[in-house]
Amino acid sequence: MKAKRKIDPSYFGQVQKFPLVPVDSEKLYEQASDELGWLAAKGSELSEGEQTYMEVLAMLVAAYEEQVPSFLDEPVSPVEALKYLMEQQQLTQLALSQVIGYPQSHISDFLTGKRGASNELAFKLGDYFAVLPTLFMSRGK
């Protein structure tokens, strides 16, 4: 029979502040990364419970990072980049069209490969998603 492991109360304090759940979106990833940064800054002042919490949160963040394609490590097409970003923010074409003020039909044509992104569209997308507009511009073969 296993002995019950006593958990430091500070662990539960951290869980109440930021629950340990699978990281499945960019927003949650950013929040978890901020929490890890705050804990790491405490350095040797971490309690045993905070250290345990930080290790588990780091595993959840690492699992997310393994699933997410990196735009820096792997070349992705402009269409793949937009589809990924829309999926991360759970945006439909209509919703994206409304928030960036650009015709839905042009976004649809871009996503289906019927047309490339105009400079205006690329800049609006870059501005909205906080990435470089060149991510959405066609690259030479």
Ordered by start, the domain boundaries in the chain are 9-67, 78-136
pTM of the full structure: 0.50
Mind listing the pLDDT tens digit for each residue in 81-126?
999 999 988 999 999 999 999 999 999 999 999 999 888 898 889 8
Kindly indicate whether the domain formed by 78-136 is annotated with CATH number 1.10.260.40.
yes
Calculate the CA 134 to chain-centre distance.
Answer: 19
CB neighbours of 117 closer than 8 A, spacing ≥ 6?
78, 110, 125, 136, 137, 138
* Lowest-confidence pick of 61-65, 78-82, 91-95: 61-65
Which is nearest to 117 in space by CA: 71, 84, 77? 77
